[in-house]
Amino acid sequence: MDATSYYGDLGIFLYFAPIVSSFTAAFALLINRQRTYPQGWLAAVFITIGAGMTCSFVFDRYLTANHTEIFRSINFITSAAVAVSVLFYYVSLMRPRLLTRKFILSFCGGWLLFALITALPDVLSPRFHPLPGIYRLTDFSSPAVVSRLLINACLIAFEVWLGVFIIRMYRKHCKLIREIYSFTEGINLSWVSITMALFILLGLLDILWMINSTAGYKMLFNVVSFGVIWVLFWYGFRQGEIPLPRTDGDCLAVPGNGAASPGDEKAMELKADLLRYFQTKKPFLNPELSLKDVALAVGVSHYVLSRFINKEFQVNFYTLVSGYRIEYVLHLIELNKNTLNGDTLFAASGFKSRTVFFQQFKEKTGLTPQEYIEKQQKAEEQKKRKKRMQKQQEW
């Protein structure tokens, strides 16, 4: 297949298929009124991919006579844009608090600077136009070859850093899930690793596109991209977010709009049974407590209970249990100010990990367990002094 024959009916279809798929997937995510925060960023990823493929198609089809050119500026720029959008998606998924305006502007500004550095030589000098073929890669006497190789090296370095950063973030989050929750049934993060593998595959194919613009490779790239886009959409649409630790310090608060309606007797009964079970049986003190155990105790399936807790308390089951554990520990301190220490409290709390217990306690109170105990002891001593002084004044 020569370069020009690729733009027959089949070639055009294969070029358009992933482009249309990207924008369709983004549209489906954006019109979903119940979309999560990460799903919004995934839509941005699809839009960026679609826009990048559109720019590449327009340039390759209409703005150049040589369809086998390599190291095109437009490909560098769009690849970097997709990489940045993928970064934002995974940060929104696993570390949303890091995704501040400053963080976003920093990477967008870096991408804009990279785009200017990449595009300006093409605009200012014809000597820096894309290379006509892979055979020119060894011509190191050419400024165009050297500059393109440096730009490509920078892009590869950024994508490698991006991959390492996301993988480390994912592993850290998996470790957090194992430590902060007493059980992990129902938490399946394998879909995140699958999407990561798919993005890595797209990145590798994109890097090869830089040096291989043959018709056969274009066909392979577009076919694989079409499949990858829909698999990413499948996982992203069905599982838009993953469990995150709450740091607002009020795990047991129930917002007014989350309360069950008065007419929903079953929901009210389930809530009453659940609260009664937690308050009387204290199942949260069992480090091996599972959602299925609690569901069995209140007489519903664990799927029903999970959805009910998410809707009624606006938290997931894991956060609810952690909140009860911390409240129980605070109650113990109130009753036994002079006889407890951090290790004793951890042993009685129901947490599996000592580190997680101290972390959750400090997020709730702003203090370590020992600091909190000492603070309570000082407050108690001050009360006793005031009482003694009042008695002395009365005498």
254 close to 312: Cβ distance less than 8 angstroms: yes
Number of domains in the chain: 2
- State whether 96 and 162 are in the same domain: yes
- State whether 81 and 227 are in the same domain: yes
Q: How far is CA 77 from CA 51, 84, 118, 143, in A?
A: 11, 11, 7, 19
CATH number at residue 299: 1.10.10.60
Q: Is residue 338 part of a domain?
A: yes
Domain housing 363: 265-394
80 close to 158: Cβ distance less than 8 angstroms: yes
- State whether 288 and 158 are in the same domain: no
* pLDDT attached to residue 210: 84
Residue 284 is encoded by which pair of tokens?
């949260």
319 close to 356: Cβ distance less than 8 angstroms: no
- State whether 25 and 117 are in the same domain: yes
- State whether 272 and 210 are in the same domain: no
Average pLDDT over residues 384-388: 77
* pLDDT attached to residue 247: 42
Q: Is residue 254 part of a domain?
A: no
Closest CA to 150 of 109, 205, 108, 210: 210
- State whether 16 and 165 are in the same domain: yes
What sign has the CA pseudo-torsion 101, 316, 255, 245?
A: negative
Average pLDDT over residues 57-73: 78
Q: Is residue 255 part of a domain?
A: no
Q: How far is CA 173 from CA 96, 290, 314, in A?
A: 12, 20, 21
Residue 59 is encoded by which pair of tokens?
């340039």
Q: Please, what is the average pLDDT of the chain?
A: 83
pTM (predicted TM-score): 0.63
* pLDDT attached to residue 153: 92
CATH number at residue 20: 1.20.1070
Q: How far is CA 288 from CA 184, 244, 293, 298, 327, in A?
A: 10, 20, 10, 18, 19
- Rounded CA separation 262/267 (Å): 9
- Rounded CA separation 256/262 (Å): 13
Give the position of tokens 């000492």: 374
Q: Is residue 149 part of a domain?
A: yes
* pLDDT attached to residue 162: 96
pLDDT tens digits, one per residue of 17-35: 999 999 999 999 999 988 8
